[in-house]
Amino acid sequence: MRPPGFWRAGKGQCSAWPVLLSPLAAAFGRVAAARNRRLDAGRGVHRAAIPVISVGGLTVGGGGKTPTALAVAGMLVAMGRSVAIASRGYGGRPGRDPLRVRPDLDWRRVGDEPLILARTLSGVPVYAHPNRVRSAARAAADGADALVLDDGFQHRRLHRDLDVVALDASEPLGNGCLLPAGPLREPVSALGRAGAIWLTRADQTAEHELTRARELAARHAPTAALVLGAFRAEGLIPLGRAGERSLDDLRGARVHLLAGIGAPDGFVRTARSLGARVVGRSFFPDHHPYRAADLRRVAAAAGDADLVLTTEKDAVRLVGLPLTGSLPVHYLRVRPAVLSGGEALRELLSAAVGPG
């Protein structure tokens, strides 16, 4: 796990540990630049039989890429398209061929994010496999007429008809450094490939930070449509039990937060916006495979909290584990929402996929 604050935004400078890793980051940048030059020339790029919309990011973890892919797929469904989604399925073992995700599959087989997508968008097939070229071929063979790539911005072996890039409005570039000194997967100039920039968590972002994020998008992707998005909490679900509680039950409740996601600060802000009193937190690396021992430590740390609150992504990885003690565990069901720019994005999607 990286040290606390390792990739946090500062004054645009790589400091402390990132400085020590800057030679590796420079080497990573050279490799990324060479790869992009090859792909820009079309070498090694495959064109699918159906239109492809990529939803991805510039940073590792926390930008809201999968929820944005969920929203884009929903827009295409509303246009009458037969949509499929292709996901890498991080942490899963789908096998040799792309696996169509069923909601009842074990997350260890397909990854946590594909399961959430499959459970949320009823009737939209989700395929899990690292090779998205093969997933696109499978989706087309199964009858899809449009494909959404989840976390596909760097998966350039598959030609895309539109790139939508999700950036956290409050911290779009982290400390501004390339891996491993920072969270950037490629230089900021790569945003020039984007047809649309989706600024996530815009409702939780201070006005001056949102202005900086807008300026960043305008500087590096001047022709891209700009979408401001938010994540809306829609339900409070007891883990391992049937039923659903009102979000009002969180108001004034003493909660201990449990999360293994890329940007837990956003989860903290969401909990507080619902009136919860955050009295403790147990944060793990993104996609952390929870074990019973982890839950024992969480239960001990939670102390006299009223409940442990986690995310839907974490809940997928907690299913089947023995919940320690009598402290209830709940997760928030959160869905993406468009604050502005939705019509411009719909026009781009329509142009990319063509007439239905």
Do 328 and 245 form a contact (C-beta atoms < 8 A)? no
Sort 50 into a burial class: Cβ within 10 Å, 0-12 / 13-18 / 19+. Answer: buried
Residue 111 three-state SS: coil
Domain boundaries, the chain: 17-231+337-353, 232-335
* 8 Å CB contact between 22 and 182: no
Tell me the CA distances in angstroms from 257 to 37, 283, 330, one per residue in order.
Answer: 43, 8, 10
Do domains 17-231+337-353 and 232-335 share one topology? The answer is: yes
Pairing mode, strands 196-200 and 225-238: parallel
The three-point CA angle 235-238-244 to 5° equals 45
Distance CA(321)–CA(220), nearest Å, equals: 45
Place of tokens 């989604």: 85
CATH topology of domain 17-231+337-353: Rossmann fold (3.40.50)
**CATH code for the part of the protein at 232-335:** 3.40.50
Rounded-to-integer distance, Cα 275 and Cα 55, Å: 32
**CA distances (Å), origin 297, targets 54, 131, 219, 263:** 39, 37, 46, 21
Q: Does residue 159 contact residue 52 with C-beta atoms inside 8 Å?
A: yes
Q: How many CA atoms lie within 13 A of 334 on its CB side?
A: 27
Using CA atoms, how far apart are residues 108 and 321, in angstroms rounded to an integer?
Answer: 13
Global confidence as pTM: 0.91
What pLDDT does residue 11 have?
41
Q: Could you list the pLDDT tens digit for every one of the 356 residues in the chain?
A: 343 345 555 444 444 566 678 788 888 788 888 888 888 888 889 999 999 999 999 998 778 999 999 999 999 999 999 999 999 988 888 888 999 999 999 999 999 999 999 999 989 999 999 999 999 999 999 999 999 999 999 999 999 999 999 999 999 998 888 988 889 999 999 999 999 999 999 999 999 999 999 999 999 999 999 999 999 999 999 998 888 999 999 999 999 999 999 889 999 999 999 999 999 999 999 999 999 999 999 999 998 899 999 999 999 999 888 765 667 899 999 999 999 999 999 999 999 999 76
H or E stretch covering 34 = helix 22-40
What single-letter DSSP state applies at residue 161? S
The residue among 339, 34, 11 whose CA lies nearest residue 200 is: 339
132-151 burial by CB neighbour count: b if 16+ within 10 A, else e?
bbbbbbbbbeeebbbbbbbb
Q: Give the pLDDT confidence score for residue 254 in this predicted structure.
A: 97
Residues in the chain: 356
> What's the pLDDT score for residue 169?
96
Whole-number Å distance between alpha carbons of 257 and 307: 9
Task: Please say whether the beta carbons of 111 and 91 come within 8 A.
Answer: yes
Confidence at residue 104, expressed as pLDDT on a 0 to 100 scale: 92
